[in-house]
Amino acid sequence: MEIQVARKEFTAKSTIGEMHLDGAFECYTLEDVVRPVKIKGITAIPAGSYEVVVSFSERFQRLLPLLLQVPNFDGVRIHPGNTDRDTEGCILVGRTKERDFIGASKVAFEALFEKIQAALQREKIFIHITEERPT
């Protein structure tokens, strides 16, 4: 499975994007601000491609998707949340979006997680993160 995250909306508080699974729209994403230099807990991960696995999160006390080998970041996960205060470098997912906010996050996450778990039974999963900045 290929997960594509296209970052599209950049504000002083967050980065909003669209997530596609194998080319089909799945949900919106919210991340921290994209910065040229990492500031711990408030910076989006670098654009690029990463393998995704599922492992137990001590913080959330449940299985969650984990991005592997993200430069200068540890424990980057995909999980529910609504604003930049919920992310700390992770990727949040939601069904609706507003400025600096995504909604119906738990519903979006559960649908996505089911697809990720099913795909992992038959193949590796990679996430590709790009930025679509207005010119």
Q: Would the pLDDT of 135 be above 90?
A: no
Nearest residue to 1 (alpha-carbon basis) of 17, 18, 23: 23
Domain carrying residue 68: 2-131
Name the domain count of the chain: 1
Q: What is the mean pLDDT of the chain?
A: 96
Give me the pLDDT at residue 37, please. 87
Task: Identify the band that residue 44 occupies on the pLDDT scale cut at 50, 70 and 90.
Answer: very high
What's the CA dihedral at 105, 63, 32, 128 to 10 degrees?
A: -100
What digits encode the pLDDT tens for the residues 83-132?
Answer: 999 999 999 999 999 999 999 999 999 999 999 999 999 999 999 999 99
Residue 111: in which H helix or E strand, if any? helix 105-120
Q: Would the pLDDT of 26 be above 90?
A: yes
